[in-house]
Structure 1
Amino acid sequence: MHQFAKQFMTPLCLSLCGFAAQAQDAADKAAEAAAPLTANVSVVSQYISRGFRQSWGKPALQGGVDYAHPSGFSLGTWLSTVSDRYLENATVEWDVYGGYAGTLDNVGYNATLYYYKYPGAAYGPTAIKYDYGELSAGLSYKILYAKYNYTVSKDFFGIQGARGTGYLDIGANVDLGAGYTLNLHAGNGRVAGAGNAIWNWRDVKVGVAKVFDGGWTVAAAYTKAKGASNAYDAYTLGIPNASGALDISNPAAATVVFSLTKTF
């Protein structure tokens, strides 16, 4: 498989990222109002970020710690297990981030800088790293939100010379009452650099989260991505499975994911 197909298929995740992190927005906001330092741990049926299945259809363990200062500045870190069938020689995605958020009447605004690291992960004989950084800027109005992520590092997830790669995330979090929230999302990704448009993609998600007493959140969502080409249809790192055949999957295929999150 062409090296870009092997390199691109990974998170632009966390804040952006992470299905479990999105599903528990309501719980996180309530916790931050009570204490500046919060932590969360999640078990998910599979790790999906922006429509792509990064744990190869297997369960994942996730967790993070966030500090939110009353002034609006914040810092945090978040981790998730990933599959080495999806990301060569990788077992963990580690995100660190910091930013500022505020409100003006019913309008919320935020700007956050992220760095995504995949310890030990490298592609091919030249050991190209997957690590990258991006800047996110967002606005919200009542239940609606929109944010744009812009790659500021020279490379984007192993694709060299891809500074300027962008991802537009729009959606709504609808309070259904009784602790239920309807999560709606649509995303549009554009990979910068000559010849890289074949890796562009779009994704959608429809989910429901339920917040319980004690900081527990249960969520379920339907998610699907669609590439600008067929590059994602038969993704493989060239690693054989137990039967000796190459492990091949379509990480953008439609699926349903479940999560259980505890916020402290």
Structure 2
Amino acid sequence: MKFQFSPSSPLKTLSVISALSLTAFALPTQAGEWSANAAMTNNYIWRGLTQTENEAAIQGGIDYASDSGFYAGTWVSNVNYAPSDVYSYEHDLYAGFAFETGGVSWDVGYLYYNYDKEAEFDFGEVYAKVGFGGFSGGVWVLTNTEADEGLGQDFGAGSTYYISADYGFEISNGIGVGLHVGYHDGDFAEAFNGTTGGYYDYNISVAKDGFAFMMSSTDVEGPAADGGYDNDEIKFVISYAVDISM
């Protein structure tokens, strides 16, 4: 959820190249190829928090991955954050480098979150992820934002971070199960999400052939847990996604 920022009011949230993760960690698309993706979901959840006031979202993106391990892409979704009406979309741009050594997958890159011009809350993060077998872990760290700091707040590089741990496995007939836990903390996270202090998010997901079902919750406190967001309650998310070769 996102809030319009002012020195006396809560701020808003981000979104990571979202969508349900079936596997705990995956490299980008095959080398030297373009691909696209599209998805529908009854609730856009990012780091445990609804980005659409628990309403539906239509999402999609385009990606390129080279044989060197370099990749870049863009992704877009509708969003909605009360009480402000200046947010209607989220448009992400990202680039990075992914490679594998001795069975261990690595991925480092930069992600930029772009919102409506009137929102004046764009921001960027650097990230690093590592995966082995079905396990993966990652960290995202704030690097820059156009948002103005409030009294006593620090929106400087490195001041806000998100860490996550995931495990994914297949049970039978192509049915995948994903387990996730994450932690988000820092002044920018509080402002952007409308939270009080750091919070944990956790979910379990089941997916097959593009369809996915997720149960997600958090221990969040503050405005993010109130009035229509209900981010401290269990959320049930159903989605369908397709990959498109180009």
Q: Structure 1 198/84 Cα, relative in aligned 2: closer, same or farther at 3 Å?
A: closer
Match of 1:198 among 196, 199, 222: 196
Shift of 1:219: 0.3
Q: Tell me: CA distance 1:87–1:225, structure 2 relative to 1, closer, same or farther (3 Å).
A: farther
What's the CA shift for 1:62?
Answer: 0.2
Is 2:185 the partner of 1:181? no
Change (3 A) 1:52 1:121: farther
Output one character per residue of 1:134-177: Cα deviation in whole Å (capped at 9) or x when no partner: 00001111100000000000567977632320000111111223
C-alpha distance 112-34 of structure 1, shift in aligned 2 (>3 A):
closer
For normalisation by structure 1, the TM-score amounts to 0.78
Higher relative contact order (CA 8 A, sep 6+): 2
Q: How many angstroms does 1:60 deviate by?
A: 0.3
Asked if residue 262 in structure 1 is aligned to residue 242 in structure 2, the reply is: yes
Q: Structure 2: how far apart are the matches of 1:68 and 1:34?
A: 5
Whole-angstrom distance in 1 between the partners of 2:142 and 2:103: 29
Partner SS for 1:232: helix
Count the aligned residue pairs. Answer: 232
List runs of 5+ in structure 2 lacking aligned partners. none
Cα deviation, residue 221, structure 1: 0.3
Match of 1:85 in 2: 82
Task: State whether residues 137 and 147 of structure 1, in contact with CA within 8 Å, keep that contact through their aligned partners in structure 2.
Answer: yes
Does the 8 Å contact 2:24/2:167 carry over to 1? no
For 1:179 and 1:234, the matched residues in 2 are separated by 38
Shift of 1:198: 3.0
Partner residue, 1:226: 219
- Cα 1:176–1:231, aligned 2, differ >3 Å: closer, same or farther? same
Deviation string 1:196-234 (CA, Å, 9 cap, x unpaired) is 7933211001001112xxxxx00000001222x434222
Match of 2:139 among 148, 159, 162: 148
Which letter maps to 1:36? Answer: E
Residue of 16, 35, 39 corresponding to 1:38:
35
* Aligned positions of 1:54-203 closer than 5 A: 54-85=51-82, 88-122=85-119, 129-154=120-145, 161-163=154-156, 164=158, 165-192=160-187, 198-203=196-201
RMSD: 2.8
Q: 1:139 to 1:178 in 2, by over 3 A?
A: same
Change (3 A) 1:223 1:12: same
CA distance in 1, matches of 2:202, 2:97: 27
